[in-house]
């Protein structure tokens, strides 16, 4: 499995000097599996470059692309209108939120709304690709190619989900936009137990969290605590605050590594290969 970060920023893009080392685009990650399957996690502005990457591959764009959404806040959907493969009439796309008790707006309605004429010149149903929206009320399923996905609904305004994704003996957990509260969510520790890679929201510091209760995010210290308790192999600190420049984030990475040496900042363009 190859995991490539194309968008690591939270809230809003930061295409400015002093921020680009850590990444200017909002959340979007590409997973390329040994089976040949492709999964995209979230559709922030980074998804535009994922489309370019897939189109440039020698083997071309896979016939079917699965886009798994943690939730539908603006910074996680705003790149989709610029995703090149969505304009190919031969392309099949599945956009999904998988998990029990999803009670936010209908997924298709969300994507249609952001592309209505007041906001974008091309409506969703005229993009070209065959787009299917899937909202299974399931917290675990296995694809025909043997990829298993588990989900947990976690604390974030408007709903959000953590995913554990497994192929053969390789496992990752994607846990972004989560507010643990006064103590760590034990379900996340259990879900992340022993995984090869934990990608975890690290938007704030513990000190900043004191004035940001209810905003729906974690500190890097909380991300490290989850990694320690779950005994993960690698921790990627993710969803960087737009007010945190490269210098600030480099210091966070340094401090995190003092506690958990296998931690690192998720940086735009970074690829992690996990062998079975």
**Could you report the per-residue pLDDT of 146-157, keeping only the tens digit for each?**
999 999 999 999
Q: How far is CA 114 from CA 79, 103, 198, 273, 274, in A?
A: 10, 19, 30, 34, 35
Q: What per-residue confidence (pLDDT) applies to 105?
A: 80
- pTM for the whole structure: 0.97
| Across 33-62, average pLDDT | 95
| Across 131-137, average pLDDT | 95
Most confident of 8-12, 55-59, 272-276: 8-12
Closest-CA residue to 155 (of 182, 183, 174, 177): 177
> Is the predicted pLDDT of residue 104 greater than 80, yes or no?
no
Give me the residue spans of the domains in the chain: 2-273
> Is the predicted pLDDT of residue 276 greater than 90, yes or no?
no
Q: How far apart are CA 29 and CA 33, in angstroms?
A: 13
Tell the CATH topology of 2-273: Metallo-beta-lactamase; Chain A (3.60.15)
Q: What per-residue confidence (pLDDT) applies to 148?
A: 97
> Is the predicted pLDDT of residue 191 greater than 90, yes or no?
yes
> Is the predicted pLDDT of residue 210 greater than 80, yes or no?
yes
Mean pLDDT, the chain, rounded, equals: 96
Under a CB-based contact definition with an 8 Å cutoff, are residues 129 and 81 in contact?
no
Bridge partners of residue 9, in order along the sequence: 26, 240
């Amino acid at each position: 499995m190859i995991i490539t970060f194309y968008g690591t920023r939270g809230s809003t893009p930061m295409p400015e000097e002093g921020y680009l080392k850590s990444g200017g685009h909002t959340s979007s990650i590409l997973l390329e599996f040994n089976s040949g399957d492709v999964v995209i996690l979230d559709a922030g502005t980074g998804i535009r470059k994922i489309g370019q990457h897939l189109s440039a591959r020698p083997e071309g764009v896979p016939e079917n692309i699965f886009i798994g959404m943690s939730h539908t806040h603006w910074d996680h959907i705003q790149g989709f209108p610029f995703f090149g493969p969505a304009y190919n009439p031969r392309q099949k796309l599945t956009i999904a939120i998988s998990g029990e008790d999803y009670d936010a707006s209908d997924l298709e309605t969300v994507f249609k709304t952001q592309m209505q004429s007041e906001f974008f010149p091309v409506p969703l149903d005229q993009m070209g690709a065959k787009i299917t929206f899937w909202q299974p009320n399931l917290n675990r399923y296995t694809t025909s190619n043997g990829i298993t996905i588990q989900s947990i609904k976690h604390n974030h305004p408007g709903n959000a989900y953590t995913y554990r994704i497994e192929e053969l003996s390789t496992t990752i957990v994607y846990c972004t936009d989560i507010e643990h509260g006064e103590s760590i969510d034990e379900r996340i520790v259990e879900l992340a137990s022993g995984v090869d890679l934990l990608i975890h929201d690290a938007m704030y510091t513990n000190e900043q969290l004191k004035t940001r209760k209810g905003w729906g995010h974690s500190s890097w210290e909380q991300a490290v605590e989850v990694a320690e308790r779950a005994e993960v192999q690698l921790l990627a600190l993710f969803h960087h605050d737009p007010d945190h420049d490269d210098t600030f984030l480099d210091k966070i990475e340094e401090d995190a590594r003092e506690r958990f040496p296998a931690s690192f900042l998720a940086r735009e363009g970074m690829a992690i290969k996990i062998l079975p």
